[in-house]
């Protein structure tokens, strides 16, 4: 079964092409041990701990904590490489996953849809909760073969606000620190984050940072000093709601 763990999360990925080599070495156990020891020594010289422990270790618990009490349908944006749809469906949530690329796994509580998250193909007020975990920063850049759009991230958040029902909950995480845009992602500072989240009412924003691969809670002031061109990382973890309907509907 193909791996659904996001690359770099919890452990290095062990791709199929290496398994064949290991099976050949199984016939030579002494040589296999020697090669394994050599590879381990080489990896400790090359890789920092942060390269094998990503922000998922704090993002996923944050999601579960903040879905408490949600009873309606949940939309997971950018589901292609995410384990969240399966995990949530297995816990009884009714989940819809949307991605420009296909999602190959199924569950009775899960519906996977291919679509553009800048134009979510669902009616206004469809979902009780919308999740966008480490995805908004990529939208519109085209790295994942999605359509190009300079303000794709803001378009996606406007769509999140639209498809949420009044009072519905959005859980969003993005890279945070010194503002940056490259050919893969955006990093948000405080002004850019406020602009991004403008269509929603922010209930709470938490921050976490990683130094040498160890993720810990932190303050906005410390997180905003992080330069993603260096080895450290920081993220903003947002819980927001859709403003209530002006006529009182919730």
- Domain edges within the chain: 1-47, 51-241
Determine if the pTM surpasses 0.85: no
The pLDDT assigned to 12 comes to: 37
Provide the CATH number for the domain formed by 51-241 in this structure: 3.40.50.150
Q: How confident is the model at residue 192 (pLDDT cuts 50, 70, 90)?
A: very high
Q: How confident is the model at residue 211 (pLDDT cuts 50, 70, 90)?
A: confident
Q: What is the mean pLDDT of the chain?
A: 83
Q: Dump the DSSP string for the chain.
A: ----SPTTSSS----HHHHHHHHHHTT-HHHHHHHHHHHHHHHHHH--GGGS--THHHHHHHHHHHTTT--S-EEEES-TT-SHHHHHHHTT--EEEEESS-----BTTEEEEE--GGG-SS-TT-EEEEEEES-GGGTTT-TTSPPP-TTHHHHHHHHHHHHEEEEEEEEEEEEBSS-EE-SS-EEB-HHHHHHHTTTSEEEEEEEEEEETTEEEEE-HHHHTT--TTSS-EEEEEEEEEPPPPTTS--
Q: How confident is the model at residue 68 (pLDDT cuts 50, 70, 90)?
A: confident
Question: Average of pLDDT values for 91-116?
Answer: 89
17-34, pLDDT tens digit by residue?
Answer: 455 566 677 778 788 778
Lowest mean pLDDT: which of 51-65, 153-167, 232-246? 51-65
């Amino acid at each position: 079964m193909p791996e659904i763990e996001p690359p770099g999360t919890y452990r290095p990925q062990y791709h199929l092409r290496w398994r064949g080599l290991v099976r050949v070495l199984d016939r030579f156990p002494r040589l296999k041990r020697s090669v394994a020891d050599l590879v381990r020594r080489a990896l400790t010289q090359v890789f920092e701990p942060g390269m094998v422990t990503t922000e998922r270790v704090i993002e996923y618990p944050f999601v579960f904590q903040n879905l408490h009490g949600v009873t309606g349908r949940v939309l997971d944006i950018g589901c292609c490489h995410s384990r969240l749809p399966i995990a949530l469906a297995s816990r009884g949530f009714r989940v819809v996953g949307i991605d420009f690329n296909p999602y190959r796994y199924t569950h009775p509580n899960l519906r996977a849809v291919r679509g553009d998250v800048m134009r979510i193909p669902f009616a206004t007020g469809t979902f009780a909760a919308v999740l966008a975990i480490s995805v908004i920063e990529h939208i519109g850049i085209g790295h994942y073969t999605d359509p190009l759009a300079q303000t794709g991230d803001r378009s996606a958040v406007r769509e999140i606000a639209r498809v949420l029902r009044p009072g519905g909950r959005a859980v969003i995480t993005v890279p945070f620190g010194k503002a940056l845009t490259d050919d893969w992602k955006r990093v948000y500072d405080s002004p850019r984050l406020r602009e991004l989240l403008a269509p929603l009412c922010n209930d709470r924003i938490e921050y976490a940072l990683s130094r040498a691969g160890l993720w810990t809670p932190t303050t906005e002031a410390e997180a905003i000093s992080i330069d993603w061109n260096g080895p450290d990382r920081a993220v903003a973890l947002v819980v927001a709601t859709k403003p209530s309907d002006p006529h009182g509907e919730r």
